[in-house]
Amino acid sequence: MNRPWTLASSVAGAVVVALDGTVLTVAQPSLQREMHASFAEVQWTSTAYLVAVASLLVFAGRLGDRYGQRRLFGLGMLGFGAASAGIAVAPTVGWVIGLRAVQGVFGALLQPATLGMLRAAYPPDRLASPLAVRTGAIGLAAAAGPLVGGALVTGLGWRAVFLVNVLPALAFGLPALLRPDRRPAPARTPLDLPGAVLLAVSLAFLVYALTARPVSAPALAVSAVAAAVLVRHERRTPGPLLPPEVIGSRAIGAALGILVAVSASLFGTLFVATYVLQRRLGLDPFDSALRSLPLAVLMVLSAALCPALLRRCGARATTAGATAALALGVLLLSRTTSVTGLGCGFALLGAGFGTVMVAATQVIVRRAEVTTAGVAGGLQQTALNVGPTVGVAAATALLGTGTGPALLTLAAVAALALPATRALPAPARVTSITPTPDEPAPADAPARR
């Protein structure tokens, strides 16, 4: 497999998805005015995508394991680009909502494949560096999204933000389909379609429940029942959707839990911080973006430094330190509104999240076999979709108590992830074979000269 092309494709897929989400936020007010849409309809342009993508990520990862990660990536990229082009010419808001759901389906196909391709192309001990490049690119996309979206909406209108996805989709999707990986050996067991349906129902209703205002208790109940049935089904089926070697790993389970907690804390904090910057301090959106710029800068820098930290300190200490830094950043933001204090708080958020992203993702992808890398990537992406949804829902519910208490609670959410870091691997100990005075040399030890 061509490693440079694989890394470039993985980065392109991750950036397209990250950029799409950030520019949509900027475009929504203009979309609402032009289409005479209600606030609920505009909210569904985000909810439809989230429900579709979150419910299908793991099953899409399994399809990649079975039929080839590059093939699924190419199909996902081309479908994502086609849906984006359709949104750009949609006649009504109903069409926009429907096409956003279609976009979510193809986004689910391509996202696990961006990690599965890396796992297939790089040996486990060299995964940290490409994952750092991928994470740094996501940070740049998150920082550039509001600026790019604002410029496009101001100059060309809201439809232009969706056309940004078309060229990258063609440039990377077509080569992936024209030159796919060699097809894996045929699987002996059929696809676990009942498990896929149960997981999709559970995640779809969970995401819908958390994005509804107020939170939907009936949807949460349906999600819980579907999850319980899924657990029972997976224990009995001969070919489960969720392989025991993946979900049974303490390290992978801990890494997924950490990603949910820190992403919930980060995105909940950003939601609250928007109110602090724009309502309490009276800043406009552009000035607010400038105040939070240290987050993106430190996310990119920390991702670049993380491979060296992993080699020196191991995933356990690296992730624990980064999680503590993120929690400290949330605490700082709860106590200050000064320019320096806000800058330091956002910097700690970026440094902590960028490091956790690389370290936890490396644990998940590295510990999975190549044959289950797609499922592992789907679980990682699911954690990064569910976590922010939980965080924003919690922040919305807590805002009534004030921004200070809300941020303190979100700091506690990040701190809850610290005990889980103990399940992550520590650095390997280097042992010497030099015999001690009271210990005979091993029979296969080289003779001293």
Count of alpha carbons within 13 angstroms of residue 161, beta-carbon side:
27
Decide if pLDDT at 19 tops 70: yes
What confidence tier does 181 reach under pLDDT thresholds 50, 70, 90? low
- Rg (the chain; Cα; Å): 23
Lowest-pLDDT choice from 71-85, 98-112, 393-407: 393-407
Q: CA 199, CA 206: separation in Å to the nearest integer? A: 10
**What is the model's pTM?**
0.85
Q: CA 287, CA 146: separation in Å to the nearest integer? A: 12
Measured CA to CA in angstroms, residue 122 lies from 11, 117, 252 at distances of 15, 9, 19
What local confidence, expressed as pLDDT, does residue 448 receive? Answer: 39
What local confidence, expressed as pLDDT, does residue 192 receive? Answer: 87
Count of alpha carbons within 13 angstroms of residue 353, beta-carbon side:
34
Measured CA to CA in angstroms, residue 6 lies from 184, 377, 406 at distances of 18, 15, 41
Q: How many CB atoms are closer than 10 A to CB 212? A: 16
Q: CA 196, CA 242: separation in Å to the nearest integer? A: 9
Decide if pLDDT at 184 tops 60: no
Mean pLDDT estimate for the chain: 86
What local confidence, expressed as pLDDT, does residue 302 receive? Answer: 92
Of the candidates 268, 255, 246, 271, the residue with the CA atom closest to the CA atom of residue 356: 255
Decide if pLDDT at 245 tops 50: yes
Q: Over the chain, what HEC string results?
A: CCHHHHHHHHHHHHHHHHHHHHHHHHHHHHHHHHHCCCHHHHHHHHHHHHHHHHHHHHHHHHHHHHHCHHHHHHHHHHHHHHHHHHHHCCCCHHHHHHHHHHHHHHHHHHHHHHHHHHHHHCCHHHCHHHHHHHHHHHHHHHHHHHHHHHHHHHHHCCCHHHHCCHHHHHHHHHHHHHCCCCCCCCCCCCCCHHHHHHHHHHHHHHHHHHHCCCCCHHHHHHHHHHHHHHHHHHHHCCCCCCCHHHHCCHHHHHHHHHHHHHHHHHHHHHHHHHHHHHHHCCCCHHHHHHHCHHHHHHHHHHHHHHHHHHHHHHHHHHHHHHHHHHHHHHHHHHHCCCHHHHHHHHHHHHHHHHHHHHHHHHHHHHHCCHHHHHHHHHHHHHHHHHHHHHHHHHHHHHHHHCHHHHHHHHHHHHHCCCHHHHHCCCCCCCCCCCCCCCCCCCCCCCCCC
Decide if pLDDT at 268 tops 80: yes
Of the candidates 365, 423, 319, 312, the residue with the CA atom closest to the CA atom of residue 123: 365
Longest dimension (CA), the chain: 86
Q: CA 317, CA 306: separation in Å to the nearest integer? A: 12
Q: How many CB atoms are closer than 10 A to CB 197? A: 16
Of the candidates 292, 261, 259, 202, the residue with the CA atom closest to the CA atom of residue 390: 261
Tokens of 75: 């199909």
Measured CA to CA in angstroms, residue 363 lies from 131, 139, 245, 256 at distances of 11, 20, 14, 9
What local confidence, expressed as pLDDT, does residue 438 receive? Answer: 42
Return the C-alpha torsion angle 389, 393, 395, 401, nearest 10: -170
What confidence tier does 307 reach under pLDDT thresholds 50, 70, 90? very high
Report, as an integer, the average pLDDT of 63-68.
88
What local confidence, expressed as pLDDT, does residue 432 receive? Answer: 42
What local confidence, expressed as pLDDT, does residue 183 receive? Answer: 55
Torsion sign over Cα 116, 122, 123, 125:
negative
Decide if pLDDT at 335 tops 70: yes
Report, as an integer, the average pLDDT of 358-377.
88
Decide if pLDDT at 285 tops 70: no
> Is-contact 85 166, C-beta < 8 A?
yes
Measured CA to CA in angstroms, residue 24 lies from 158, 305, 437 at distances of 8, 31, 69
